Amino acid sequence: MSSNNLFFSYRTNSHKVNKYYNKYYENNENNENNENINKSPPTNKNKWIILLTMAVNVNKENEYRKWLYKTQLLNWLSNTNYYIYVVESTGVSLDITHERLRFFSLELPKIASSSQSESASILHVLNNIKDDPNFIECTHILKVTGRYFLQNIDSVLNRCVDNLDVYLQHHYNHTTRWQNTEYFGIRKNLFKTFLLRVINEGLIEHKFYEFISKNRLTFMRIGPFKNNVARGGDKRIIRYL
């Protein structure tokens, strides 16, 4: 292991979990670029909500996307116990109701990139649920691109080390400073600051890597999860998300 990494080992419920501190990203002892973000005090146990992002009316794939999003949303509702918040950013409803579901549909104006559009739609939801009791009570938000369902996510999150800032995919690239964002978990109080950075500056994968690095965030990696659904842009299938 590189000397730039601080390595810790945690044991929770007889389950050993390895955690890297953010120096895994870059060795900056003085942290001159720290954004002075507001971190919440530690809690005893993470409390999660799920936030799914969707865009039905894209590239003449309306019917397929609508079918896929409906299928995956029903998977989330049937196979987890979490409260689910959905934002659809092209003005389309999926006509699904559930006691654990809140669905938001809006039509966003043209924005430079899909990253910025997704971040703006999430920010819209966060502003609209700020008084929601389940949002108030949660400590962390798991953001997932709506075309994916993460099998056994309940047990994965239950085994996580608590009180970390972010929970990441295993797909990343230090050379290009890139962190995949098909899904990620983030401390609730950090989310808006990160989204505003993406809206103002661009590509979410680069900005997420930078956000973690500059702010020396604590993290662990979760997954991978088996997958057979292609990405929306390049149609590539990542077999293990």
What is the second-level CATH architecture of the domain 44-221? Alpha-Beta Complex (3.90)
Q: How far apart are CA 141 and CA 130, in angstroms?
A: 13
Q: According to the model, what pLDDT value does residue 12 have?
A: 29
If we measure between CA atoms, which residue out of 194, 177, 178, 213 comes closest to residue 51? 194
Its pTM stands at 0.84
CA distances in angstroms from 13 to 132, 153, 158, listed in the order given: 31, 17, 10
- SS3 helix, strand, coil % of the chain, rounded to 5? 30, 25, 45
Q: According to the model, what pLDDT value does residue 36 have?
A: 60
End-to-end CA distance of the chain: 24
Q: According to the model, what pLDDT value does residue 113 have?
A: 82
Q: According to the model, what pLDDT value does residue 233 have?
A: 80
Contact in structure between 94 and 72 (CB atoms under 8 Å): no
Q: What single-letter amino acid sits at 133?
A: P
Contact in structure between 54 and 101 (CB atoms under 8 Å): no
Q: How far apart are CA 1 and CA 194, in angstroms?
A: 29
Element holding 7 (H helix, E strand): strand 7-12
Tens place of pLDDT per residue across the chain (241 aa): 332 322 222 222 323 333 333 333 333 333 435 566 766 666 679 999 999 999 999 888 899 999 999 999 999 999 999 999 999 999 999 999 999 999 999 987 777 788 899 999 999 999 999 999 999 999 999 999 999 999 999 999 999 999 999 999 999 999 999 999 999 999 999 999 999 999 999 899 999 999 999 999 999 999 999 999 998 888 899 999 9
Q: How far apart are CA 122 and CA 116, in angstroms?
A: 10
Q: According to the model, what pLDDT value does residue 58 have?
A: 87
